[in-house]
Structure 1
């Protein structure tokens, strides 16, 4: 069973691994300012955001990346999956997005589809390496 890199628990391949990096809560003056120049609805800005932030998961192994990609692929295949809910933040949560566009993306599904496409390129070697292993042995 694949373990979480931070605590001794089973790894949860939730999609927040990809988009949680954009939360600027308590980092508005540094990360918030950095992210404000990007429009997540613009495909060129979005590609840069994804490559620079969403896929920069150095804390995760090649195995974790494969499991995340499988989870994302499953959700993208599910026509009823509510991608918008991933970007909704309750008032009581210790989280916030950099700008208003993040709260109501034109297409949250498209955003995550873009993550999937770019991850296949950026993580190509890691995904291949993990796919050649027996996942049952993890």
Structure 2
């Protein structure tokens, strides 16, 4: 058995884009873009609101998916040379855009994802514990 992706019939890959994809406003500039442009992702207080309201608001994911995502994030955070800015880089050929200029060059993209990790530990605590207590072979 293996954990399936909630949208396609494939094995779930715990990609860190799950945590920042909610900020992609491409083709939603008039809705999500306006909603998000009031936040500065470099401001600690704004960032907490963004993370709690968007990054971790993944209702489509089960507690098992959440555990795998948090573990993948912990692994990347443990790598001193992991390029977190690359997550925010958008190729001009991609159908993607961020709500404000700051998103393209965050002051500290590692810190942003570190905050995601910290908030996930708190907000998803029960889900993470439930998943940790299970035998993954049954997933």
Distance 2:119 2:101 in 1: 24
Distance 1:33 1:71 in 2: 31
Q: Which residue of 1 aligns with 2:117?
A: 116
TM-score, normalization: structure 2? 0.98
Q: Which residue of 1 aligns with 2:48?
A: 47
> How many correspondences in the alignment?
138
TM-score, normalization: structure 1? 0.99
1:15-54 mapped onto 2 (5 Å cutoff): 15-54=16-55
- Shift of residue 4 of structure 1? 0.4
* Structure 2: 5+ residue stretches without partners: none
Q: Which residue of 2 aligns with 1:9?
A: 10
Q: Give the ranges of 4+ consecutive aligned residues of structure 1 lying more than 4 Å apart after TM superposition.
A: none
Distance 1:34 1:115 in 2: 20
- Shift of residue 78 of structure 1? 0.5
Question: Alignment RMSD, CA only?
Answer: 0.5
